Amino acid sequence: MTITSTELQEKGSAAKEAATQLRRLSTEVKNRALRNIAEGLLAKEAAVLAANQEDCDAGKGAGLSDALLDRLLLNHERLAAMAADVLQVAQLPDPIGEVIDMRTLPNGLQVGRRRVPIGVIGAIYESRPNVTVDIASLCLKSGNACILRGGKEAVNSNRALAWLVQEAITAAGAPAHAVQLIEDTDRALVAQMLKMRDVIDLLIPRGGADLIRHVADNATMPVVTGGIGVCHTYIDASADVEMAVNVAYNAKCRRPTICNALDTLLVHQDVSAAFLPAIGRRWADAGVEMRCDDRALRTLNAAEIAGLRAVAAREDDFGKEFLALVAAVRVVDSSAEAIGHIERYGSGHSEAIVTRDYASAQRFLDDVDAAAVYVNASTQFTDGAQFGLGAEVGISTQKMHARGPMGLRELTSYKWIILGDGQTRP
């Protein structure tokens, strides 16, 4: 289906109108809509999977990689997991209406901040169709309308899911235009969307680095960027070697393809002789390729590890997000050098130190400027559900508005409310 620029404007106006209704919608209606979506995902499984099959067939025909095809694929288990996630959002407390810091001033004025929705959220994303349901349900619960623009590979899946969502929310008494999908995947429409500042209050790009950079560079409205994680784990001189191996192994291998996975391992020289062969063995078994600076490579090679895949690093291996079983490795002379390396090469996502030294831990927490800074834990914990937010719309690596995992509360703004009995200002 092709839509014109005028139709996109109309979708925008409809979203704005829906947003004014959504901001007054009761928690009860919002939760009913969410439960309807969860039921719909189970009840309409056949139709959704048939639409997804079309996308997967087309993707195979177009020669998509196995990784992309896997992202695209829906099946019974994945739909059930999506439904469970939506029910979880229904169970989270409604952030809207909460009043923060209400106080009574000496003149009797009561002043506080009341949490309100942002308005209309735009989302531009790539192949994973579950993003359609994720963002729709988080926006709905937080009282925001959304305009979704998924990737062309998932167009049939997204259409089926959006249709199901719209039916579910209408049946619950929520405005039909609360969730709208742009089915046309013409690139010109993205360009237009980036200019719709009068309509879209916040734009969330989800996908690869190119997409995110394009949106950040060209959008005329606020954008929450993130999802690019060049993550370091620094093994301090005083680290417990067994703990360090477990943490580094988990940070790389639990899921190597997500943004909070370890990319570069920094190792203090004093612990390198003990630590590097130990992690080298674990990573060799897992098939991790290690791209090493000179000192790390010498230490690893000297350890004669079976199956070791250690090569010399190129300069651009530092600062690279691998999203694969690959890690850059560097030996440093001090924790200051490690922190300097992170400052230079990190993307401000998730950074960890493994140490037994109190001062080293405090200094790392103080000096590393990232969305999530860890002491003695795997960076793979950076996630809305793990941090207790219940769910997340993305992970911000910027400092304005929200940083790190963004849950329902991060999809809100506030307004000051002032209750008086005739006060005038002297």
Q: 185 or 398, CB closer to a copy of itself?
A: 398
Site string for a copy of itself, 334-353 (x = CB under 8 A): ---------x----------
298 binding a copy of itself? (CB under 8 A): no
Question: Shortest distance, CB of residue 412 to a copy of itself, whole angstroms?
Answer: 9
240 binding a copy of itself? (CB under 8 A): yes
423 binding a copy of itself? (CB under 8 A): yes
Out of 403, 406, 407, 408, the only residue in the binding site for a copy of itself (CB under 8 A) is 403
Cβ pair 135, 393 in contact under 8 A: yes
DSSP-derived secondary structure for 235-267: E-TT--HHHHHHHHHHHHHS-TTSTTSEEEEEE
Compute the distance between CA of residue 355 and CA of residue 360 in angstroms, rounded to an integer: 7
Sheet containing 231-235: order of strands: 309-312, 289-292, 326-332, 262-268, 231-235, 350-354
Alpha helices in 219-331 (DSSP H): 241-253, 269-286, 294-302
Compute the distance between CA of residue 155 and CA of residue 114 in angstroms, rounded to an integer: 38
Q: From the CB of residue 92, how many other CB atoms can be counted at a distance below 10 Å?
A: 18
Out of 9, 53, 170, 246, the only residue in the binding site for a copy of itself (CB under 8 A) is 246
Compute the distance between CA of residue 188 and CA of residue 194 in angstroms, rounded to an integer: 10
Residues 167-226 that bind a copy of itself (CB under 8 A): 201-202, 217, 220, 222
Out of 206, 264, 378, 394, the only residue in the binding site for a copy of itself (CB under 8 A) is 378
Question: Shortest distance, CB of residue 413 to a copy of itself, whole angstroms?
Answer: 4
Hey, what are 333's tokens?
């002379």
Q: What is the 3-state secondary structure (H, E, C) of 131-176?
A: HHHHHHHHHHHCCCEEEEECCHHHHHHHHHHHHHHHHHHHHHCCCH
Out of 371, 391, 406, 408, the only residue in the binding site for a copy of itself (CB under 8 A) is 371
Out of 23, 35, 152, 309, the only residue in the binding site for a copy of itself (CB under 8 A) is 23
Question: Shortest distance, CB of residue 373 to a copy of itself, whole angstroms?
Answer: 5
17 binding a copy of itself? (CB under 8 A): no
250 binding a copy of itself? (CB under 8 A): yes
Q: 158 or 225, CB closer to a copy of itself?
A: 225
Compute the distance between CA of residue 159 and CA of residue 166 in angstroms, rounded to an integer: 10
Question: Shortest distance, CB of residue 251 to a copy of itself, whole angstroms?
Answer: 8
Cβ pair 241, 272 in contact under 8 A: no
386 binding a copy of itself? (CB under 8 A): yes
- Give buried/exposed letters for 172-182 (b at 16+ CB in 10 A, else e): bebbebbbbbb
73 binding a copy of itself? (CB under 8 A): no
Site string for a copy of itself, 253-272 (x = CB under 8 A): -x------------------
Residues 6+ apart with CB under 8 A from 159: 51, 181, 183
Q: 316 or 421, CB closer to a copy of itself?
A: 421
111 binding a copy of itself? (CB under 8 A): yes
Question: Shortest distance, CB of residue 315 to a copy of itself, whole angstroms?
Answer: 20
Compute the distance between CA of residue 327 and CA of residue 321 in angstroms, rounded to an integer: 9
Question: Shortest distance, CB of residue 112 to a copy of itself, whole angstroms?
Answer: 10
Stretch that binds a copy of itself, among 44-52, 65-73, 76-84, 247-255 (CB under 8 A): 247-255
Out of 114, 130, 170, 330, the only residue in the binding site for a copy of itself (CB under 8 A) is 114
Q: From the CB of residue 239, how many other CB atoms can be counted at a distance below 10 Å?
A: 26
Out of 370, 391, 406, 408, the only residue in the binding site for a copy of itself (CB under 8 A) is 370
Compute the distance between CA of residue 75 and CA of residue 271 in angstroms, rounded to an integer: 46
Note the residues at the interface with a copy of itself (CB under 8 A): 20, 23-24, 103, 105, 109, 111, 113-114, 116, 118-119, 201-202, 217, 220, 222, 240, 243, 246-247, 249-251, 254, 343, 361, 365-367, 369-378, 380-382, 386-388, 398-401, 403-405, 413-425
